[in-house]
Amino acid sequence: MPGLVLQICDRADGEGLRVGFTASRKVGGAVERNRARRRLRAAAEQVLGAKGRAAHDYVLIARAETARRPFQLLLDDLDRALARLGDGGRRR
């Protein structure tokens, strides 16, 4: 997706879902990376709170576009990424 990369892994040992966020230096300086992570965190609360599956790990990776992308489009990106991966997490 233009605004983010999503990775999913299912876990046999857990009940709840776990979410991690990362932004490399390719995203920008510390201020840009922190802003991108905050925006990913807010998007994850809205989308994964409703559509996330228990016993799955989600990793949201910021892209250079993440900090500048309109928030609604960022939500759409996350929603489409979840749909593309299906209920999967089965891809390892």
Domain CATH code at residue 30: 3.30.230.10
Question: Torsions phi, psi of 44, nearest 5?
Answer: -65, -40
- Does some domain include residue 70? yes
pLDDT at 87: 54
- Does some domain include residue 92? no
Order of strands across the sheet that contains 56-62:
4-10, 56-62, 18-22
Residue ranges of the chain with per-residue pLDDT less than 70: 87-92
Q: Which residues contact 92 (CB under 8 A, 6 or more apart)?
A: 9
- Does some domain include residue 72? yes
- Are the CB atoms for 65 and 3 separated by under 8 Å? yes
Q: What are the angstrom distances between the C-alpha of 33 and each of 42, 61, 86?
A: 14, 11, 28
pTM for the whole structure: 0.86
Degrees (nearest 5) of the Cα angle 37, 2, 84?
100
